[in-house]
Amino acid sequence: MIVGCIGIFFTLLNLSAGIYVSTYMPVFLGAFSVIAFEFLTPHKIDWKPKTSDVTADALFMLVVQVLLPRGLSFVVAYYVLTSLESSSWTLGLWPDAWNIGLQVGLMVLFADFFRYWLHRWMHETRRLWKFHAVHHSPKKLYWLNVGRFHPIDKTLQFLFDALPFIILGVREDVLALYFVFYSINGFFQHCNIELQLGPLNYLISGPQLHRWHHSRISDEANSNYGNNIIVWDLLFGTYFLPKSRHVEELGLLNRSYPLDFVSQMQTPFSGDTDQTP
């Protein structure tokens, strides 16, 4: 699926469809593919989302995943351009002469390294966990709750795994292809699809691994921090994939933790209501 969507990206780009169409069309098609497989072969029937789940997750997707990154990119570009009084503010240190696939591979490797440690700190640091708990609050996993993040959590992600590459001078088409891979893998990672990835569980951070990361049990949840790949978890000892059982309960210890969009914007600032797993 991911490979097919990447193929669509290159096809549209070669047809001069423009960077936005070439980027978002495969992402939409990837999302629809995941939705179809969730309907046809669900991992758990009781993970089917309610209308309230979809409404909240759609708001998170729009506000936190679409509008916020655009706003952050604009603010950064405006600030740097104003400060440097120059139209060229990137460092130009990125190996942009490389094949685009190699560039994206390099970006995935280093972005996941930075994201691994940010993600791990989110779990191990009380103040950061209060924001990251929003992402762990759902009691079921399906494709759309990949976007459920508090804006402060998302801003930190932007600072760690997007801004450095923009400043290094990564080309627009490389960033776009990374976005296609990142987005579709995110949908896939959170999907409610019955599957067995076998040896791929030692390469990508897929749904079998990520379900354990969303476990309600802390010893299970504090694992599998990889965003796209799992190699850093293997290297730093946080890989977790039991062979003889499936994850049971998901979410937080506090079963009364609010799940609607407005409340989750406020909850990280209102005491210890998350009761971290």
**pLDDT tens, 114-151?**
999 999 999 999 999 999 999 999 999 999 999 999 99
Residue 272 burial class via C-beta count within 10 angstroms: exposed 0-12, middle 13-18, buried 19 and up: exposed
pLDDT of residue 219: 93
Residues of the chain predicted below pLDDT 50: 277
pLDDT of residue 169: 85
| 136/215 Cα distance (integer angstroms) | 9
pLDDT of residue 213: 98
Name residue 229's beta-bridge partners: 204
pLDDT of residue 90: 61
| 96/14 Cα distance (integer angstroms) | 19
Name the 3-class secondary structure at 102. helix
pLDDT of residue 277: 46
Where do the domains of the chain lie? 2-269
Among 215, 240, 45, which Cα is nearest to 139's?
215
| 76/261 Cα distance (integer angstroms) | 26
0.95 cut: is pTM over it? no
pLDDT of residue 140: 96
Task: Provide the CA 112 distance to its chain's centre, in angstroms.
Answer: 11
Among 38, 16, 261, which Cα is nearest to 142's?
38
